[in-house]
């Protein structure tokens, strides 16, 4: 009896799996057309300098408006696009679009673009970036590329060489989601990043967990010592903003400071470029 029950359970499991495999394949088919149909659009989320409250730049975060399903999150469709190699043309497109959008912003405002490990593996990422800069006319100093640790797990020497070539173009690089995955301090030595983005999980837990707060403080201090800047991700509340400022993080990003929005809706930030939230948590100046 137990055996039968077990087999029955297995059959249900198998059916569910088959269904999800089918659903995946369907989504991947839709995704192949999404780019041509204009269903993909980068949104932009601001990040601010925590000392001056000034707008530093926008991170481009891809959105997919599926005709039936509505908004599909990148956490869902980026892995699907990676699985079928579609992330490569899709990523090239995002890069070009982001550089073109950023050309309209004030000269000190950067654009940060997320890169998939697959775009790195392919080998011509340097040429693609150069082309995106040339076509848009965006000065290289205004482009930042965000790379996750999984990119660094691959053929190290090639990644080091590629990052070096990208820096020679005059762009900057950021290590995204730092502290998740395979964080190794030797990465910080082997790869010359300009910036570390401290993962939002630490910022989220900071107020409840002293160990998370300790990690935020230590990473900010370490980065400073190594001559890198830091961005604290996922700031949702004023107390979190205060804590990351006290930790000495250079920049802050999160829903409290601004949610991702379409390029056409960035005016509010572009025209009043200081974050009132950041300014309102300025610690009293000593001696004042």
Residues that bind ligand C2E (CB under 6 A): 45, 61-62, 73-75, 78, 91, 94, 114-116, 146, 176-177, 200, 234-236, 253-255, 260
Residues 224 to 243 in contact with Mg ion, rule: CB under 5 A: 233
Residue whose C-alpha is closest to residue 277's, from 236, 229, 231, 216: 236
Nearer to ligand C2E, 61 or 263 (CB): 61
Residue whose C-alpha is closest to residue 196's, from 213, 177, 215, 181: 177
Q: Which does 281 bind (CB under 5 to 8 A by kind): Mg ion, ligand C2E, none?
A: none
What's the Cα-to-Cα distance from 262 to each of 66, 105, 132, 137, rounded to whole Å? Answer: 16, 14, 20, 21
Nearer to Mg ion, 32 or 194 (CB): 194
DSSP letter, residue 286: T
Nearer to Mg ion, 53 or 57 (CB): 57
Residue nearest to ligand C2E (CB): 254
177-216 footprint of Mg ion as x/- string (CB under 5 A): x---------------------------------------
Q: Which does 231 bind (CB under 5 to 8 A by kind): Mg ion, ligand C2E, none?
A: none
Nearer to Mg ion, 114 or 173 (CB): 114
Interaction between residue 144 and Mg ion (CB under 5 A):
no
Interacting residue with Mg ion among 45, 56, 114, 281 (CB under 5 A):
114
Q: Quote the CA–CA distance of 242 and 72 in Å, as a whole number.
A: 33
Alpha carbon 64 to its chain's center: 16
DSSP letter, residue 142: G
226 within 8 A of 219, measured Cβ to Cβ:
no
Interacting residue with Mg ion among 30, 144, 149, 176 (CB under 5 A):
176
Q: Which does 101 bind (CB under 5 to 8 A by kind): Mg ion, ligand C2E, none?
A: none
Nearer to ligand C2E, 8 or 89 (CB): 89
Contacts of 174 (CB under 8 A, 6+ apart): 112, 144, 145, 146, 147, 193, 194, 195, 196, 197, 231
Q: Quote the CA–CA distance of 99 and 110 in Å, as a whole number.
A: 9
Task: State in angstroms the smallest separation of the CB of 78 from ligand C2E.
Answer: 5
Nearer to ligand C2E, 80 or 213 (CB): 80
Nearer to ligand C2E, 172 or 200 (CB): 200
Q: Which does 92 bind (CB under 5 to 8 A by kind): Mg ion, ligand C2E, none?
A: none
The 3-state DSSP class for residue 25 equals helix
Q: Quote the CA–CA distance of 48 and 54 in Å, as a whole number.
A: 6
Q: Which residues pair with 59 in a beta bridge?
A: 45, 112
**Which residues sit at the interface with Mg ion, rule CB under 5 A?**
114, 146, 176-177, 233
């Amino acid at each position: 009896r137990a055996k039968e029950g077990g087999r029955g359970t297995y059959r249900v499991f198998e059916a569910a799996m088959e269904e999800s495999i089918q659903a995946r394949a369907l989504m991947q088919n839709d995704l192949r057309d999404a780019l041509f149909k204009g269903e993909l659009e980068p949104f932009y989320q601001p990040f601010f300098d925590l000392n001056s409250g000034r707008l530093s730049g926008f991170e481009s975060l891809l959105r997919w408006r599926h005709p039936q399903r509505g908004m599909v999150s990148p956490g869902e469709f980026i892995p699907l696009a990676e699985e079928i190699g579609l992330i490569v043309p899709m990523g090239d497109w995002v890069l070009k679009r982001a550089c073109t959008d950023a050309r309209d912003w004030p000269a000190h405002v950067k654009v940060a673009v997320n890169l998939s490990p697959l775009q790195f593996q392919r080998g011509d990422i340097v040429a693609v970036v150069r082309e995106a800069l040339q076509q848009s006319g965006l000065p290289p100093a205004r482009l930042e590329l965000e790379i996750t640790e999984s990119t660094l797990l691959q053929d190290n020497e090639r990644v080091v060489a590629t990052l070096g070539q990208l820096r020679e173009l005059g762009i900057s690089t950021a290590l995204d989601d730092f502290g998740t995955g395979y964080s190794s301090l030797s990465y910080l030595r082997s790869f010359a990043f300009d910036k570390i983005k401290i993962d939002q999980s630490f910022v989220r837990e900071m107020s409840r967990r002293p160990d998370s707060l300790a990690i935020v403080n230590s990473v900010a201090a370490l980065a400073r010592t190594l001559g890198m800047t830091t961005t604290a991700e996922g700031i949702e509340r004023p107390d979190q903003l205060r804590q990351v400022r006290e930790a000495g993080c250079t920049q802050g990003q999160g829903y409290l400071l601004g949610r991702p929005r379409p390029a056409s809706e960035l005016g509010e930030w572009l025209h009043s470029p200081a974050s009132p939230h950041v300014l309102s948590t300025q610690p009293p100046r000593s001696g004042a």
